[in-house]
Amino acid sequence: MGKSEFRKPLVTHIYTADPSAHVFEDKIYIYPSHDLVNEGLDDGKGDHFQMKDYHVLSLDDIGAVCTDHGEALHIDNVPWASKQMWAPDAAYKNGKYYFYFPAKDKDDIFRIGAAVSDRPEGPFKPEPDYIQGSFSIDPAVFVDDDGRAYMYFGGLWGGQLEKWQTGEFVRGEEEMTAGEDGPQGTQTALGAMVAELNDDMLSFKTKPQEIKIHDENGKPLTADDKDRWYFEGPWMHKFNGKYYLSYSTGPTHYLCYAESESPTGPFKYKGRLMEPVVGWTTHHSIVEFKGKWYLFYHDSKLSGGQTHLRTVMHTELEIAPDGTITTIVPYE
């Protein structure tokens, strides 16, 4: 398939975003957010993202018609959650499919929940409480070749990551502008968090630790390095034995990636994965299918640029033997 055949909405009957793609049962399953039209304010704190449920999509093959398997989980069935079901992910282990999702709890604090199914498309049965020790948004679960599973998570501003710098949630002033309570200027930027999961895939084995991304001189990226800093949307892929953490830079709208010898880092910044798309957020996943690599991502073109009404799509990636990814220019 050429570039023009890719890079089109996978479905148009609903708005979808934040696609986490995995190969299960020889098909590509896509776990997106389900964007809804709403009156929420675009205030930099994400209040216009008021999602209430998840649909699972799948592709039998590249170029096939995308199937919507319908609602896989609704917020009304999650006892601990109050609102804002944001970017999810899924994993397979021990004969079960695990679905991970962030939502605000009854105290307006983002937590990460888990739900289980026998089928990749769900429906998923949520656990009664969120994963203890979890916080912030955008879970991405990576199961390594040795069977160990890691959850990457965390997002700034509306995702509340900077409110956890002391290890406890510090609410801050209501009128505070998004990001004011995080590191500034030449201070070290905050990183994504990583925690190893227990074999039950429903609890943390290790306390979440912050991932540092270093520049070409071995120095951690700083808060003013906004073309390269970590903002949200972590994803992990392994290529030729090395680990690649990719992520969104938020206000500068890039997708970037960094390389490590270990799934928990430290990582060295390696490059830009994708130039900005129409819309504010970029959020992606990377998956290998039948010997080729694909990027799943979203833009806001279908909704005329409304930042909270997005559509998932995919394209092929070119990865060199040393892990370097050719930067995607989305509309070329």
Question: Which of positions 114-143 make contact with ligand FUB (CB under 6 A)?
Answer: 137-138
- In the complex, what is the shortest distance from the CB of residue 138 to ligand FUB, in angstroms, rounded to a whole number? 5
Q: Does the annotation count 232 as an active-site position?
A: yes
- In the complex, what is the shortest distance from the CB of residue 235 to ligand FUB, in angstroms, rounded to a whole number? 11
Residue 33 sits in the site that holds ligand FUB (CB under 6 A): yes
- Cβ distance 331 to 313 under 8 Å? no
Residue 75 sits in the site that holds ligand FUB (CB under 6 A): no
Question: How many Å from the N-terminal Cα to the C-terminal Cα in the chain?
Answer: 15
- In the complex, what is the shortest distance from the CB of residue 282 to ligand FUB, in angstroms, rounded to a whole number? 7
List the catalytic residue out of 18, 121, 138, 162.
Answer: 18
Other beta carbons within 10 angstroms of residue 19's beta carbon come to: 28
CA distance 318 to 324: 8
Exactly one of 28, 57, 73, 87 binds ligand FUB (CB under 6 A); that residue is 87
Q: Does the annotation count 299 as an active-site position?
A: no
Could you tell me which residues come within 8 angstroms of residue 227 by beta carbon, excluding any fewer than 6 positions away?
Answer: 249, 252, 254
List the catalytic residue out of 138, 181, 232, 259.
Answer: 232
- In the complex, what is the shortest distance from the CB of residue 279 to ligand FUB, in angstroms, rounded to a whole number? 9
- In the complex, what is the shortest distance from the CB of residue 326 to ligand FUB, in angstroms, rounded to a whole number? 23
Q: x/- site string to ligand FUB, residues 246 to 285, per CB under 6 A?
A: -----------------------------------x-x--
Other beta carbons within 10 angstroms of residue 16's beta carbon come to: 28
Which of 17, 28 has the CB closer to ligand FUB? Answer: 17
- In the complex, what is the shortest distance from the CB of residue 60 to ligand FUB, in angstroms, rounded to a whole number? 26
Residue 233 sits in the site that holds ligand FUB (CB under 6 A): yes
Please state, in angstroms and as integers, the Cα–Cα distance from residue 165 to each residue in 39, 43, 181, following that order.
31, 22, 9
Which of 48, 228 has the CB closer to ligand FUB? Answer: 48
Residue 86 sits in the site that holds ligand FUB (CB under 6 A): yes
User: What is the radius of gyration, based on Cα positions, of the chain?
Assistant: 18
The pair of three-digit structure tokens given for residue 15, joined into one six-digit string: 């708005």
Exactly one of 121, 162, 181, 232 binds ligand FUB (CB under 6 A); that residue is 232
Q: Which residue has the tokens 């992606």?
A: 284
CA distance 286 to 273: 11
CA distance 66 to 53: 19
Strands laid side by side in the 193-196 sheet: 140-143, 149-153, 193-196, 209-210
CA distance 102 to 86: 6
Residue 151 sits in the site that holds ligand FUB (CB under 6 A): no
Question: Which of positions 180-219 make contact with ligand FUB (CB under 6 A)?
Answer: none
CA distance 314 to 125: 28
Active-site residue set: 18, 232
User: Given the rule CB under 6 A, which residues bind ligand FUB?
Assistant: 17-18, 33, 49, 86-87, 137-138, 155, 232-233, 281, 283
